[in-house]
Structure 1
Amino acid sequence: MYYHFPKGIIVIFGNVENQDRKKDLIIDAALKRFAHFGLSKTTMTEIANDLSLSKALLYYYFPDKISLYSAVLKNIIETMDAEMRKDVGSATNSHDALKKCLDKRQAFISKYYNLLDFTKITGTELPGNLMCMFVKAKDSELTVLKTVLEIGISAGEFKVDDLDETAALLKDALSGIYFTVLKRHTKGFLPEKEQFDSILSRQKKLGEIFLKGLEVRTVSEIS
């Protein structure tokens, strides 16, 4: 297939598999750039140069930097989700499962913190494609928290009448810690990197309290 770029440039594209491979290479190169320098300090020209691509070819796959950033973010979210599910699935009780969930999320935030500087370009009003990615991340987190509760139920730790509602309450409680720190100490959309250790510690403590509140107790324990 032929595609005519501006200024008479003609590029021959292979089959769909090859095009997907090119997109994956672009996303991987962009991820490395964004993770090291951040979104605001990375240009499309630099990414094209890293791959020895023309800017015209890069823009064929991704029409602007935000669309490329969105694809990178999607890749990270899917990787984190897969690794988090694997870690949580290896837990034998809800407390260990929640700890693994929070630790894995913290590890990804720490690794890709520079990549999350998008507010320097976009401000607090996120473009639609980025908002979709963050909605996807929240939905993924909710699913993992449901798994945490299911592990506790299977282990006989507690009974939950409404799994969806309880998981949503747990998610809101954990998010409350995040936004409290954000409101108190940061003007932007993202806490400072050093504040995430405090957030993680407090979320673990709150999670323990939440899960213990669900535990099944015997009559003798109640009295």
Structure 2
Amino acid sequence: MENQDKKKDLIIDAALKRFAHFGLSKTTMTEIATDLSLSKALLYYYFPDKISLYSAVLQSIIENMDKELQKDVSCATNSQQALTICLDKRQDFIRKYYNLLDFTKVTGSELPEGLACMFTKAKDSEVTVLISVLEIGISAGEFEVSDLEETARLLKDALSGIYFTVLKRHTQAFFPEKEQFDTILMRQKKLGEIFLKGLMVRSALEIC
């Protein structure tokens, strides 16, 4: 079992390099098998098709990003700093794996079931990180939040709204062009700042 897990990890690493450089559509299972000196039959034993391998690669990236996000965000001293770290880090990952993430070139806007399930888990992971952002704000005495998960989901939806607004304004594609990321990041940071300020605890003197 341990050897099988190691073999799967090697396949995922090799596929990640191919997908990240050439994209999903321009990478074949034969090329991945050749990179690893594996037979195609053995490659298909672990991953029955390219989409299943692609899903495993994306899951690996998302898990690594989640770990790094949690680690970096935990070093922040206030909620705004934590959210900025979160947004910057996510943008870095998207830029790094841009070719790999543009899966719509092969799958279209309709996600296969396996990919749809994986992206649902990714969204839940994003909510978990945003909960950590809010917890930092609470610990710093910035605000009080009665329902952390619901507030984190509202923040996530608001940030996602910026993404799709910019996307719709400039293109009909499902994934942004590289030059759109700066606009998305800038507007997400501004919206995040407004959102967090709206949660701030105000003294009686300030209210008057």
User: Is residue 158–residue 215 contact of structure 1 (8 Å, CA) maintained in 2?
Assistant: yes
Q: Give the alignment of 1:25-36 within 5 angstroms.
A: 25-36=10-21
2:96 and 2:125 mapped to 1: Cα distance? 19
1:112 maps to amino acid: Y
The alignment status of 1:175 with 2:160, answered yes or no, reads: yes
1:93 and 1:143 mapped to 2: Cα distance? 17
Partner residue, 2:41: 56
SS in 1 for 2:186: helix
Partner residue, 1:19: 4
Q: Which runs of 4+ in 1 moved over 3 A?
A: none
The alignment status of 1:65 with 2:46, answered yes or no, reads: no
1:90 and 1:38 mapped to 2: Cα distance? 34
1:47 and 1:100 mapped to 2: Cα distance? 34
Partner residue, 2:126: 141
Sequence identity percentage:
81
Partner residue, 2:149: 164
1:188 and 1:126 mapped to 2: Cα distance? 14
Of 162-171 and 60-69, deviating more is: 162-171
Quote the offset at 1:30 in angstroms. Answer: 0.1
User: Is residue 98–residue 145 contact of structure 1 (8 Å, CA) maintained in 2?
Assistant: yes
1:21 and 1:110 mapped to 2: Cα distance? 28
Looking at both structures, which has the greater relative contact order when contacts are Cα pairs under 8 Å and sequence separation is at least 6? 2
SS in 1 for 2:110: coil
Quote the offset at 1:200 in angstroms. Answer: 0.5
Q: Number of matched residues?
A: 208
Partner residue, 1:83: 68
| Unmatched tracts of structure 2, length 5 or more | none
Pick one of 8, 21, 28 that aligns with 1:43. 28
2:110 and 2:62 mapped to 1: Cα distance? 20
| RMSD, aligned α-carbons | 0.7
1:177 and 1:98 mapped to 2: Cα distance? 15
1:149 and 1:129 mapped to 2: Cα distance? 31
Quote the offset at 1:133 in angstroms. Answer: 1.3
1:168 and 1:24 mapped to 2: Cα distance? 32
1:34 maps to amino acid: F
Partner residue, 1:129: 114
2:138 maps to amino acid: I
Pick one of 156, 160, 172 that aligns with 1:187. 172
1:214 maps to amino acid: L
1:69 maps to amino acid: Y
Larger Rg, first or second structure (1 or 2) = 1
Quote the offset at 1:121 in angstroms. Answer: 1.0
Quote the offset at 1:193 in angstroms. Answer: 1.2
Quote the offset at 1:160 in angstroms. Answer: 1.1
Deviation by residue 1:22-44 (Cα, 9 ceiling, x = unmatched): 11000000000000000000000
